A and B are shown apart, each in its own frame.
Chain A
Amino acid sequence: MLPKRTEFFELLAAHAERVLAGANAMLRLVNSLGSGDADIAPLIQEVNMNESSADQIKADLLNMLHKAFVTPLNRDQVYALTLDIDRVMNTIQDVAQAVSIYHITEVPSESRVLAAMAVDACLRLSRAITALKDKERSSETVDLCVEIERIEEKSDQVMHRAIQTLFQTEGDDQAALRAFALRQFYSLQEKVLRATKASAQMLEEILIQNA
């Protein structure tokens, strides 16, 4: 009837760790683009594997939330947080899959910066969630959430530059098609950062409720 507190937080932390691992694989994938001999298939595979194991953890968490009589945090909020973190994972998978869907063989440096920023944000998210079980560390969690929001803000500027470059010179149809594909790719990359920001805000809300 009463699940162990630790088990609960361990699952949340494990979930966030999968997301971080997925983000890492996605970064290596984006960095390898254009280096010629890169084999992207295993990297996409790695992202997919992390996504499916994150899905499993999510299912366990939701199951526990349904069954538990008392939860260490507000039930609805943990539910929302779990879905938010899962959304981060899904957006990462979308980026990885977009590489093959849009036939992206080469990316500008801004795209690599965006991927690195996504990993940065996921790293902080994972640390914030690990600190969550310890109420005394709530200021640390809040700081990490603020940092995630800062990273998202900075990524806006990177996006701005990337898009500006993309549309500066209007070329032929082939160039337009390439611009179109990259524009979609950037949007997906931006979505990863948006999703980490949403998770950070959810975390802040949880801390406020339990404050």
Chain B
Amino acid sequence: MFSSLMPQRREFFELLAAHSEKVAAGANATLRLINGLGDGNSNAAALVAEVNANEKSADEIKAKVIARLHQSFTTPINRDQIHSLISELDMTLNVLQSVANAIDMYGIKQSTVEAREMASLSADACMRLNRAVSALGEKGRGTETLNMCKEIEEIESKADKVQQKAITALFQDGANVWQTMKMREFYSLQEAVLDSCQDAAKMIEEILIENS
């Protein structure tokens, strides 16, 4: 009754949506980077720079959100939920950055079918994350958002299976031990992106349930 008279502070939703857009853009650049590995005419360095740039501007948005939390008497959803969600989103982009930078770190020259598949799954999950976060402020779109979160969780379990297949291939007889070590680490990082998406999705679900 009185809550509609309180200051609404919708800008928190806008900032969260802007941040998740950077996450989706970062995932997209990572996908292009991995798909282009080894085909000569793609510029890996430029794509890594693109991921890093997205991460940097997302960091700025995160800092703005935290500063705003210190300067607002009211928040549209719980203070700690905003903080948790922005941290989960930021974590997703950080791991994406790790994936992009790991290519140079491990000196990976060729991608595998599984690595490309994992990359496109994480781009899928991040796109849904972006849509879910953007719809968070709209009361009528609760079920739609909830479904998006469920889809993210399905994508994550699909990625689990892809990773299993990839690791099985790595440990076949006659495998190069160095190659196996490097790619094992690389797949772990790719998987961490999806885990982080799933954590963010669960956080969104928690927010929706508490505010429904």
Q: Do chains A and B touch in the complex (CB under 8 A)?
A: yes
Interface residues of A (CB under 8 A from B): 156, 160, 163-164, 167-168, 170, 173, 176, 179-180, 183, 201, 204-205, 208-209, 211
Task: Give 17 pairs: A residue, B residue, CB < 8 Å, sorted on A.
Answer: A156-B98, A163-B105, A167-B105, A167-B178, A167-B182, A168-B107, A170-B176, A170-B178, A173-B177, A176-B181, A180-B181, A183-B181, A201-B87, A204-B83, A205-B80, A208-B66, A209-B80
Residues of A within 8 A of B182 (CB): 167
Q: Are A208 and B70 in contact (CB under 8 A)?
A: yes
Q: Are B181 and A204 in contact (CB under 8 A)?
A: no
Per-residue 0/1 for B66-104: is the Cβ within 8 Å of any A Cβ (1 yes, 0 no)? 100110000000011001100100000000001001001
Q: Closest approach, in angstroms, between the C-beta of B154 and any C-beta of chain A? A: 28
Interface size bucket, B side?
20 to 34
A167 to B106, CA, bound (A): 6
Q: Are A160 and B101 in contact (CB under 8 A)?
A: yes
Q: A176-B177, A201-B87 are known contacts. Are A211 and B70 too (CB-CB below 8 A)?
A: yes
Q: Are B83 and A205 in contact (CB under 8 A)?
A: yes
Residues of B within 8 A of A173 (CB): 177
A153 to B66, CA, bound (A): 18
Q: Closest approach, in angstroms, between the C-beta of B82 and any C-beta of chain A? A: 9
Interface of chain A: mostly helix, strand, loop or mixed? helix
Interface residues of B (CB under 8 A from A): 66, 69-70, 79-80, 83-84, 87, 98, 101, 104-107, 176-178, 181-182, 185
Residues of A within 8 A of B178 (CB): 167, 170, 176, 179
Option from B69, B83, B106 in Cβ contact (under 8 Å) with A163: B106
Q: Are A208 and B83 in contact (CB under 8 A)?
A: yes
Q: Are A208 and B181 in contact (CB under 8 A)?
A: no
Residues of A within 8 A of B177 (CB): 173, 176
Q: Which residue of A lies closest to B82 (CB)?
A: A208
Residues of A within 8 A of B84 (CB): 205
Q: Are B105 and A160 in contact (CB under 8 A)?
A: yes
Residues of A within 8 A of B106 (CB): 163-164, 167
Residues of A within 8 A of B105 (CB): 160, 163-164, 167
A168 to B106, CA, bound (A): 8
Option from B80, B98, B107 in Cβ contact (under 8 Å) with A164: B107
Q: Which residue of A lies closest to B188 (CB)?
A: A187
A113 to B105, CA, bound (A): 18
Residues of B within 8 A of A167 (CB): 105-107, 178, 181-182
A207 to B80, CA, bound (A): 10
A170 to B87, CA, bound (A): 38
Q: Closest approach, in angstroms, between the C-beta of B85 and any C-beta of chain A? A: 12
A167 to B107, CA, bound (A): 8
